[in-house]
Structure 1
Amino acid sequence: MALAIEKIEDTVVISAEGQINSGNASAIEAELLSQVDKGEHRIVLDLALLSYISSAGLRVVLLLAKRLKQVNGKLVLCALQSRVREVFDISGFLSILAVVETREEALRTTAVD
């Protein structure tokens, strides 16, 4: 699992590659939540290179969304592969999270208050 973090204007874009599972979820959670602790309130999760996410990974995304909501922030997910999208859909997360097709669309969405 690898995370690439870049700042684009006032949004942090975090690209996840590989898998998020019970073995690495706590380390990923710490890294994602540290972004909010540093004052970042607009985050895009680019999941184009994520091949698998477990329930532990879904929990991490939910925790990030809740933390951002507490600080009036915004989380947008983009570029979900079909298998990953299916996991989000089955879990009901597609109805409670902002999910768009492209990184560009995600950046536009975070820019809108």
Structure 2
Amino acid sequence: MISNKKLRDGLMIIDKKFDGNCLRIMLKGRLDTNSAPILEESLTDNFQNINSLILDFEELMYISSAGLRVIILIHKKIPNDCEMSIENVNDIIMEVFDTTGFSNVLSINQ
């Protein structure tokens, strides 16, 4: 894997890694009102030539409604032939996904 880009805003680190046709986005910190637009902007042109998008939440500690909105926007923007999954979700964020119904729409692996 090749590390492509890290963005730091003081609250979240976004680390992108490409492996062939797979793009893995590792998030660390908080996905909230301040950091959600940064995530959305950083993914604008990264969906071409990939068939798998993995959002790795291993080090994500918090997600707000703004973060949920960006997750849904990303899910809608990826090409139809691209699979999106969310991995390494902690219990707190999984509870948010269950409560909001996102666990019924997205492929989530704890």
Q: Which TM-score band applies after superposition, normalised by the shorter structure? A: 0.7 to 0.9
1:21-44: per-residue Cα shift (whole Å, max 9, x none)?
A: 0112111111123312x4434210
Q: Report the secondary structure of 1:35's partner residue.
A: coil
Give 1 or 2: higher helix fraction.
1
Rounded Cα–Cα distance in structure 1 between residues aligned with 2:55 and 2:98: 16
Mapped pair 1:29 → 2:34:
no
Q: Following superposition, which runs of at least 4 residues in structure 1 exceed 2 angstroms of deviation? A: 38-41
Q: Where do 5+ consecutive residues of structure 1 fail to align?
A: 102-113
Q: CA RMSD in A?
A: 1.3
- After TM superposition, the score normalised by the length of structure 2 is 0.83
Q: Which residue of 1 aligns with 2:22?
A: 11
Q: Greater relative contact order (Cα 8 A, min sep 6): structure 1 or 2? A: 1
Rounded Cα–Cα distance in structure 2 between residues aligned with 1:100 and 1:24: 23
> 2:21 touches 2:49 (CA, 8 Å); kept in 1?
no
How many pairs align? 99
Q: Provide closer, same or farther for how the CA distance between residues 49 and 96 of structure 1 changes in structure 2, counting only shifts above 3 A.
A: same
- After TM superposition, the score normalised by the length of structure 1 is 0.80
